Structure 1
């Protein structure tokens, strides 16, 4: 690396910090996990010392310290695209690409698998660090300049797409939160109504709308790790609270505790209030299903039950013991908002559409991230 670039070390410039300073200061906290600059609001005045630490357009900065032992930050680089805006503080190195190294290519390369090399030469314990004198001796692979430019352009496009999906996800999440915050407000007239709906919402006891049915108790030695004929999936608390848990299967000739995809169920003991929906199988006896006594839209109730305010009320009802538990008699008396089935259908459909979009964007973002990771691991070997 030392044959392809020059470098300049940062030094302590804290005494030149000023709220009305001209320059933005790059320090350890300026490096985001997405390899983007984080503005901490730290500024420094202009003088000979700070001018000597200016970073020019097309140059990079590398962080040489990490506040933790896991190395999430160490070796990360920022690519500077403006002149006379940024200066570096101590433990940050300015990297100046030479004529054979494109700055954009270097940015993606150094933030790619190259960081593993930096971690391997890091020193320290609870807070690790690396000396740039060791970093610059590491070898990097590079094609001709034109190919470097093409590679960096491709990676830049993918990065922009990932950022775009991230913004869409944040915006949609805000929209969904706004709907939930203004629909399920525990009063007769919600803050948000859709066109054509003006009637007051009923305030009813939960036991007038649902009855509760506890799941099936199955000894662990009767829970199968592989599905056999006439067995059903056995749904436990861990299946609701954790991802990628190996499934269990049980025989259930009585049908007790059986749930279908539209059914809603809750954790009764321990992780009180955790909600399950979209499962098919048999729930365990520390879970319970809510069975409607009137015509309802399951999605409407799933979203109302998922709201943090309902969850807080549910937890408050649980016994204050070492093992919190929901008392069915108390739960039946809980007051809950109910509206017409037509309005329930409308609300459920809209919120489900938002969730479908969120899932779509999450999958697209994850797919692009995997493509980027594959490209980095195959091109920068």
Structure 2
């Protein structure tokens, strides 16, 4: 590494302002004025030029010892808490190759395990130890081919992620348009052939709400003829309850297909359980069709749950508030039309999301085969 990089001690001499601050975590310009944007304070920042790498010491499941991030964005400045290393002059680098290689956990984990030390909240890079580490470097032409390959893959991943985000935004917009707003009796967007006011009811009048109860002990990570335990939002993934813990001594049990609504922070998330589930105090169980499911989802996007929740430590929805939740009811035909529309939209979001995850999995697999 010492034949490739050297510590950079270039400080901001006043040429860069707060608008040039780079977020190392996201490798993007922070695009905000710093509260400490005085000229003197800006001079404490380190200059980070294109091709420089900075060490970010926060650990995660993905990065056990922190990570290096390469600047492929543009010249700027970063906080003095980050160590900056600069490519040695005269060396020929492919920017795209090193962006991937220096950030790759498969390649860098062993190196960082030997060249970092644990501090109070994160890992710190020991620069002399890091510069002694050895890494295999291909020819420039091979660097360019590998770099182009990963750049193309990154573009495909970004495109899929943008498409998924756009579909989710559209869903949120349709939830507000296809259900009546607060104080209104008709939705602002309707399918052809439907008209007239919707009936205003309370949730407790249209469905039998089952309030969760703390389950008894004897949990297991394996299903040994037990019942799936639903306790909170961490048990939800993309609108579906994912069983992870089981109990042989269930209390409140709801059948498969029941809607689960989280009643403790964060409140208002909705999921469907594919199996019978024992619901804890973090959930309420509500039997209902897809129309009721999306009616409840709309209450989350409109901020209703946040307005009615309360709690000294964690926000929670009381059983009274839940039962009195306002629900607008349409004709059976219109409800079926709306439920089918959002079900298909969720299906499309799922397809795009799985495509993005497949590409991310491919990238991880290729990185393990294309770096030494």
Q: How many aligned residue pairs are there? A: 342
Q: What is aligned with 2:332?
A: 341
1:84-112 CA-partner distances (Å, limit 9, x unpaired):
x6255654233257556433222211111
1:54-92 CA-partner distances (Å, limit 9, x unpaired):
84xxx51111464x5777865211235xxxx62556542
What secondary structure, in the 3-state scheme, does the structure 2 residue paired with 1:75 have?
strand
Does residue 259 of structure 1 match 2:255? yes
Q: Conserved in 1, the CA contact under 8 Å of 2:228 and 2:243? A: no
> CA 1:61–1:226 in 2, change beyond 3 Å: closer, same or farther?
same
Q: What is aligned with 1:86?
A: 75
What secondary structure, in the 3-state scheme, does the structure 1 residue paired with 2:68 have?
coil
TM-score normalized with structure 1 length:
0.71
Q: Structure 1 residue 342: deviation in Å?
A: 1.7
Q: Structure 1 residue 324: deviation in Å?
A: 6.2
Does residue 30 of structure 1 match 2:23? yes
1:66-215 equivalence runs, <5 A: 66=57, 68=58, 74-79=67-72, 86-88=75-77, 91-96=83-88, 98=90, 101-113=93-105, 114-116=107-109, 117-118=111-112, 120-123=114-117, 124-126=119-121, 128-130=123-125, 132-184=127-179, 185-186=181-182, 187-212=184-209
Q: What is aligned with 1:311?
A: 305
Q: Structure 1 residue 196: deviation in Å?
A: 3.1
Q: Conserved in 2, the CA contact under 8 Å of 1:69 and 1:125? A: no
Counterparts of 1:327 and 1:25, CA distance in 2: 51
Q: Structure 1 residue 302: deviation in Å?
A: 0.6
Counterparts of 2:68 and 2:221, CA distance in 1: 48
Question: Which one is further off, 87-96 or 263-272?
Answer: 263-272
Q: Structure 1 residue 173: deviation in Å?
A: 1.4
Consecutive unaligned residues in structure 2, runs of 5 or more: 237-241
Structure 1 or 2, whichever has the larger Rg, is: 1
1:144-181 CA-partner distances (Å, limit 9, x unpaired):
33322222222111111111111112111111111223
Tell me which of 344, 358, 366 is aligned to 1:375: 366
Q: Structure 1 residue 347: deviation in Å?
A: 1.6
Q: What is aligned with 1:295?
A: none
Consecutive unaligned residues in structure 1, runs of 5 or more: 293-297
Q: Structure 1 residue 326: deviation in Å?
A: 4.2
Q: Conserved in 1, the CA contact under 8 Å of 2:216 and 2:249? A: no
Q: Conserved in 2, the CA contact under 8 Å of 1:63 and 1:93? A: yes
Counterparts of 2:233 and 2:30, CA distance in 1: 39
Q: Conserved in 2, the CA contact under 8 Å of 1:273 and 1:315? A: no
> CA 1:14–1:175 in 2, change beyond 3 Å: closer, same or farther?
farther
> CA 1:285–1:146 in 2, change beyond 3 Å: closer, same or farther?
closer
Tell me which of 62, 68, 74 is aligned to 2:53: 62
What secondary structure, in the 3-state scheme, does the structure 1 residue paired with 2:286 have?
strand
Counterparts of 1:160 and 1:323, CA distance in 2: 40
RMSD in angstroms over aligned alpha carbons? 4.3
Q: What is aligned with 1:246?
A: 244
TM-score normalized with structure 2 length:
0.72
Question: Which one is further off, 130-139 or 140-149?
Answer: 130-139
Q: Conserved in 2, the CA contact under 8 Å of 1:269 and 1:324? A: yes
1:165-218 CA-partner distances (Å, limit 9, x unpaired):
111121111111112233342320223333333322111233432234568998
